[in-house]
Amino acid sequence: MTADRQSKVQDHFLRWWIGISEAVQDKLTLMIPGPTPVPETVLKAMGRHPIGHRSGEFQDVVKRTTEQLRWLHQTSGDVLVITGSGTAAMEAGIINTLSRGDKVLCGDNGKFGERWVKVARAYGLDVEVIKAEWGQPLDPEAFRAALEADSAKAIRAVILTHSETSTGVINDLETISGHVRAHGSALTIADCVTSLGASNVPMDAWGLDVVASGSQKGYMMPPGLSFVAMSERAWQAYDRSDLPKFYLDLGPYRKTAAKNSNPFTPAVNLYFALEAALEMMQAEGLEAIFTRHARHRAAAQAGMKAMGLPLYAAEGYGSPAITAVAPDGIDAEHLRKAVKERFDILLAGGQDHLKGKVFRIGHLGFVCDRDVLTAVAAIESTLDALGLHKTSMGSGVAATAAALAA
């Protein structure tokens, strides 16, 4: 037997042994908060031959996607497209609106709040951190108090994460942004990486100044594009900003966007995907998208609770994009890996000190009722197979199905 043949036989045996038949290979289901599943239409749009990025044909794509992005952000301002991941958009938000030594308030109640603090400190900002325990939401009152106490108007920006992916908590961005508005001069810079396209983020109505997001989330696309939306006040701050920047200098992006172009070679094929994905989103409608995500949150939460698995996010603050579960007394990593091995469904693990204590179900982007029901059923069946089911077999699926039927 050749080595190649031998390894195929071994692989076949291994898959049979762990319960995955040959027939289901390549049937991976992503239930993580990014990358998220990508619709066939979007994959096909992306699979065409690239075109010249200075061609009229490509400029038409940029023109159409610019309008679609404004629709998604509910803004009449600029939404700029960067080739990069969500963190590029976060960094761009800071370096284009702030100056060395500026005082900022950073909300930190999880891994991505921590990231804001790191980026702000990397650029020499004077960061005051407003913390909440992981699993708890940021307290809008803490922001109000700090902003009201700032009679010298030294605070230049309030920086926070809307949907904190590491803990599955949604922060009250609307209220916090209202307090920033009342302050008068500070900007609101928001990471909406896992809220945009899942939850309402009406940029203009809430008075947000910078909104950062990334393609591999609610956009239903592969990773590779990030988006920075800028208000008029953010552009005024841009004129004063002295932080170093080149690739992420949004000035040239704005200038070229006015001509339906980009300062550098953009990810042409990801633009094709973007247009197709946004067309799908427009066909579904914003309200329907938000309702779908809220239903899936309710269904995932109901299933977990019925199986006696506590939710990690504080009651009433669960993100519509992610449900974090803290399965008391159960090794979350062991369970997560067993679900992957038995069903090829990928759940996300806990980050940092939550590793082994928490698993997370992503229900963000191109996710339907069947996906949520299947994920809950896979978790339930795996708990049962491992002898770890805390309630009666079928209780999780029944609760999820009931929530979906409501």
Ligand X SMILES: Cc1ncc(COP(=O)(O)O)c(C=O)c1O
Q: How far is CA 123 from CA 83, 103, 104, 211, 243, in A?
A: 21, 12, 12, 19, 7
Stretch 241-260: interaction string toward ligand X, x if CB under 6 A: --------------------
Pick the closer one to ligand X by CB: 85 or 374: 85
Pick the closer one to ligand X by CB: 33 or 140: 33
Widest CA span in the chain: 80
**What's the burial of 27, exposed, middle or buried (CB within 10 Å: 0-12/13-18/19+)?**
exposed
* CB 345, CB 198: distance < 8 Å: no
Query: Is residue 112 part of the contact set for ligand X (CB under 6 A)?
Result: yes
Residue 32, classed as helix, strand or coil, is: coil
Of the listed pieces 11-19, 64-72, 80-88, 138-146, which binds ligand X according to CB under 6 A? 80-88
Pick the closer one to ligand X by CB: 34 or 327: 34
Tell me which of 41, 74, 83, 85 binds ligand X, using CB under 6 A. Answer: 85
Cα 116–chain centre separation: 15
Helix axes 56-73, 268-284, angle to 10 degrees: 40
**What's the burial of 36, exposed, middle or buried (CB within 10 Å: 0-12/13-18/19+)?**
buried
Query: Is residue 83 part of the contact set for ligand X (CB under 6 A)?
Result: no
* CB 95, CB 123: distance < 8 Å: yes
Query: Is residue 214 part of the contact set for ligand X (CB under 6 A)?
Result: yes
Query: Is residue 93 part of the contact set for ligand X (CB under 6 A)?
Result: no
The contacts found for 277-285 with CB under 8 angstroms, 24 or more apart, are 277/39, 277/42, 277/219, 277/220, 277/221, 278/65, 278/68, 278/69, 278/71, 278/72, 278/219, 279/68, 280/39, 280/41, 280/42, 280/220, 281/68, 281/72, 281/197, 281/220, 282/68, 282/71
Of the listed pieces 79-87, 311-319, 327-335, 343-351, which binds ligand X according to CB under 6 A? 79-87
- First-to-final CA distance of the chain: 57
Closest approach, Cβ 375 to ligand X, in A, equals: 19
Query: For tokens 């702000």, what's the residue?
Result: 120
Chain residue at closest Cβ approach to ligand X: 86
Stretch 165-194: interaction string toward ligand X, x if CB under 6 A: x-------------------------x-xx
Pick the closer one to ligand X by CB: 214 or 396: 214
Tell me which of 68, 96, 97, 161 binds ligand X, using CB under 6 A. Answer: 161
Pick the closer one to ligand X by CB: 75 or 194: 194
Query: Is residue 228 part of the contact set for ligand X (CB under 6 A)?
Result: no
Pick the closer one to ligand X by CB: 343 or 359: 359
Closest approach, Cβ 104 to ligand X, in A, equals: 17
Tell me which of 34, 93, 266, 318 binds ligand X, using CB under 6 A. Answer: 34
- Rounded to whole angstroms, the Cα distance separating 383 from 174 reads 39
Pick the closer one to ligand X by CB: 217 or 340: 217
Query: Is residue 87 part of the contact set for ligand X (CB under 6 A)?
Result: yes
- Rounded to whole angstroms, the Cα distance separating 209 from 188 reads 5
Closest approach, Cβ 114 to ligand X, in A, equals: 11
Of the listed pieces 68-76, 158-166, 259-267, 278-286, which binds ligand X according to CB under 6 A? 158-166
Query: Is residue 137 part of the contact set for ligand X (CB under 6 A)?
Result: no
| Residues forming a β-bridge with 360 | 324, 348
- Rounded to whole angstroms, the Cα distance separating 70 from 250 reads 17
Q: Could you give phi then psi for residue 31, rounded to 5 degrees? A: -125, 45
- What are the tokens at 164? 């904190």
Q: How far is CA 201 from CA 22, 211, 221, 231, 385, in A?
A: 43, 9, 19, 14, 41
Pick the closer one to ligand X by CB: 211 or 383: 211
Closest approach, Cβ 391 to ligand X, in A, equals: 31
Of the listed pieces 53-61, 161-169, 346-354, 371-379, which binds ligand X according to CB under 6 A? 161-169
Q: Which residues bind ligand X (CB under 6 A)?
A: 33-34, 85-87, 112, 161, 163, 165, 191, 193-194, 214
